């Protein structure tokens, strides 16, 4: 079984590349983030033509998440249970479902903007709510994982130049502590370092030739419980999909399971 996660940075802008990637990589389930569309605008019919059902939580603008599955979608939950609001709005940053033998969450963790900003405090509260929300699923005997754009680099080695992030979000002790607490709840990073290359980054800024110069970050993560981790046979970052015209600034992360 192949499971992947990908921040597409607008499904409308990325649709031709998404459809081509689904055909060439053939994931059984794909977790999407930053759809930047409403649920009505989501290309459900185009994806169904390739054999994928869609569970979508999106309202337009900057957020939006989805699960695409060709092995079934059951017990769909849209949103983060008991998650915090931001400026009075429950943002569409989570969707979960049972896809065949596994239970999965697709999440788009708030960016945080800058340390001291209200959005940074919201980010920490959101991660705390995520930990509570996945506790039951992660403790079960069924393979379970939470995948997506966490907007946190777990270690210093997960950014291309730590000095460039001094005093900035994504690398602060507070954010990393929340990730550590999530793992302590029974989850593990199932895309470990190193992979087949020294720096398995998943995000490169469009500016300053970020990708050609490999000025990247590893912020797209797959955290699985013990049954999920035990089933992992391979994992990789599809750097090729970050190349070329019209690419997202994130690359897909792929995990192959024996379940």
At 120 the pLDDT is 97
- The predicted-structure confidence for 131-169, as pLDDT tens digits, reads as follows 999 999 999 899 999 999 999 999 999 999 999 888 899
- The predicted-structure confidence for 64-92, as pLDDT tens digits, reads as follows 999 999 999 999 999 999 999 999 999 99
> How many independent structural domains does the chain possess?
1
Q: In 10 A of CB 177, how many CB atoms? A: 13
Percentage of residues in the chain with pLDDT exceeding 90?
91
DSSP single-letter state for residue 103: E
At 193 the pLDDT is 60
Instruction: Give the contacts of 44 (CB within 8 A, at least 6 positions apart).
Output: 54, 56
At 121 the pLDDT is 97
Q: How far is CA 13 from CA 3, 94, 186, in A?
A: 23, 21, 37
Give residue 99's domain range. 2-257
CATH of the domain at 211: 3.60.10.10
């Amino acid at each position: 079984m192949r499971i992947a996660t990908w921040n597409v940075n607008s499904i409308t802008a990325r649709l031709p590349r998404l459809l081509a990637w689904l055909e060439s990589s053939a994931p059984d389930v794909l977790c999407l983030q930053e759809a930047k569309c409403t649920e009505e605008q989501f290309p459900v019919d185009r994806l169904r033509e390739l054999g994928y059902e869609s569970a979508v939580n999106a309202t337009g603008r900057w957020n939006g998440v989805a699960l695409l599955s060709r092995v079934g979608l059951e017990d769909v939950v849209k949103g983060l249970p008991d998650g915090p609001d931001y400026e009075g709005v429950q943002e569409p940053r989570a969707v979960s479902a049972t896809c065949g033998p596994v239970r999965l969450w697709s999440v788009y963790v708030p960016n945080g903007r800058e340390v001291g900003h209200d959005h940074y405090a919201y980010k920490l509260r959101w991660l705390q709510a995520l930990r509570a929300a996945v506790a039951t699923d992660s403790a079960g005997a069924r393979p379970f994982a939470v995948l997506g754009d966490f907007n946190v680099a777990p270690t210093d080695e997960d950014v291309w130049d730590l000095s460039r992030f001094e005093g900035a979000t994504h690398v602060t002790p507070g954010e990393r502590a929340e990730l550590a607490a999530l793992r302590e709840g029974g989850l593990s990073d199932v895309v470990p370092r190193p992979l087949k290359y020294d720096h398995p980054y998943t995000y490169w800024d469009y500016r300053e030739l970020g990708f050609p110069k490999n000025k990247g970050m590893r912020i797209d993560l797959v955290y699985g419980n013990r049954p999920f981790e035990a089933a992992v046979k391979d994992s990789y970052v599809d750097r090729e999909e970050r190349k070329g015209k019209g690419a997202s600034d994130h690359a897909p992360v792929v995990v192959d399971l024996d379940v």
